[in-house]
Amino acid sequence: MDFTLTPGQKTVQEKARQAAAAVKAKAAFLDREELFPGEILKEWAEAGFFGLSLPKEYGGGGHDYVTYCLAQMELTQACPSAALILHLNHSLFGLALAQFGTPEQKRQFLPPVARGEIFTCFALTEPEAGSDPSRLQTTAVPAGPDWLLTGRKNFVTSADRARYGLVAALTDPGQGPKGISAFIVDLNTLGVKRGPVEEKMSLTGAVSAALEFHEVRVPKDGLLGELNHGLKIFLATLDGARVGAAAQAVGLGRAVLGHALEHARRRVQFGQPLAQFQNIQWKLADMATDLEAAALLTLKAAWLKDQRQPYTTAAAMAKRFATDAAMAAALEGVQILGGYGVLKDYPLERYFRDAKAGQIYEGTNEIMRLLIARELIKG
């Protein structure tokens, strides 16, 4: 078993580390003002992070998914909101097209997505269908050579500015979840309505909003993959994206640990630095251990994906453990900083809020436990 990174992986990791360091102060300001991290995303796009593991022939970097995860572990330490927006382009839209798209769809959509020239979104969740896709109500019905899309999607990150969306819709309602198809939708099409920006407690730069579709005409070639195979496409896409989400959680947790450690070394109480108190040492040790375990779970899942081996369970384990570890680290980090931990002038308050979101998006951790348990029971 070899844990050594390749020269290419090390190069991307160091590049991402430097890119993150360059925008940390800017990211804190943007979060405080609840502003879109456009400048940060532009810098990351120019550095090639948007298309890291997307195919080279369609504008991507051609790296493996382990490399992408290593980069996310660095970038998220600076700006979790920007890292999530990048993740949407790369893993939730880009990788879905790379795996299931036709050559023509890849030629049309992937290059601007991989270069970060446009933003995309992933529209699965609805007011009555979150963890349970069987309650999906958005429909797509044939209309001559095209489809007419009608329905509403909730909690769509980047819905305010995304050009294209990957949208789930029922094409055979009688089959329930087996009648779902996946569509590539141009969100500038007549009949698409973008809802107001939702006020969130976390990831404020990664704007969420509803999308409404009122008989939106989608060309025939907007169907991604086979008709009525959409649920398989969305679940397969989420498997990969959950590994990326786990990498983001590792990065966020590492940022928390770094700030908590710095504070513990500097802050003096009762005549000695906090870092000299055993209970503080134990907190730091547990944080470091859990984050290291989360990183290993994440990289294993990414490696399985790269080897084209089954990794659904590994992805669920990585996502569940890493996001829980990040939340636990944030809780202890705020506690170590004490009163400073809840001040907006200090980074722990922001990381605490952002860590919570990781336990919810791309499948709640309760759903991750269900997936893991089902595989265990199947034997």
Q: Regarding the domain delimited by 232-378, which CATH topology (the fold level of the hierarchy) does it fall under?
A: Butyryl-CoA Dehydrogenase, subunit A; domain 3 (1.20.140)
Q: What is the pLDDT of residues 178-211, one digit of tens each?
A: 999 999 999 999 999 999 999 999 999 999 999 9
Q: Which residues are catalytic?
A: 362
Kindly state the helix (H) or strand (E) to which residue 212 belongs, with its residue range. Answer: strand 208-218
Q: Is the pLDDT of residue 150 over 80?
A: yes
pTM listed for this prediction:
0.95
Q: Which CATH number among 3.30.70.100, 3.40.50.10190, 1.10.340.30, 1.10.540.10 corresponds to the domain 7-118?
A: 1.10.540.10
What is the pLDDT, as a whole number, of residue 88? Answer: 97
Residue with tokens 């382009």: 89
Mean of all residue pLDDT scores within the chain? 96
Q: Where are the alpha helices (DSSP H) in 128-268?
A: 230-266
**Cα(252)–Cα(83) distance, rounded to whole angstroms?**
10
Q: What is the DSSP string of 8-20?
A: HHHHHHHHHHHHH
- For residue 231, give the DSSP letter: H
Nearest to 98 by CA among 158, 57, 129: 57
**Cα(322)–Cα(324) distance, rounded to whole angstroms?**
5
**Cα(261)–Cα(43) distance, rounded to whole angstroms?**
29
**Cα(49)–Cα(46) distance, rounded to whole angstroms?**
8
Q: How many CB atoms are located within 10 Å of the residue 306 CB?
A: 16
What is the pLDDT, as a whole number, of residue 128? Answer: 86
Q: Regarding the domain delimited by 121-226, which CATH topology (the fold level of the hierarchy) does it fall under?
A: Butyryl-CoA Dehydrogenase, subunit A; domain 2 (2.40.110)
Q: Which residue ranges make up each domain of the chain? A: 7-118, 121-226, 232-378
CB burial string 204-215: b at 16+ within 10 A, e below:
bbbbbbbbebee
Q: What is the DSSP string of 57-120?
A: GGTS----HHHHHHHHHHHHHH-HHHHHHHHIIIIIIIHHHHHH--HHHHHHHHHHHHTTSS-E
CA distances from 37 to 82, 84, 275, 322 (A): 6, 11, 34, 25
Stretch 58-63: mean pLDDT:
97
43 close to 23: Cβ distance less than 8 angstroms: yes
Stretch 157-169: mean pLDDT:
97
Q: Is the pLDDT of residue 135 over 90?
A: no
95 Cα distance to chain centroid: 12
**Type of residue at 226:** E
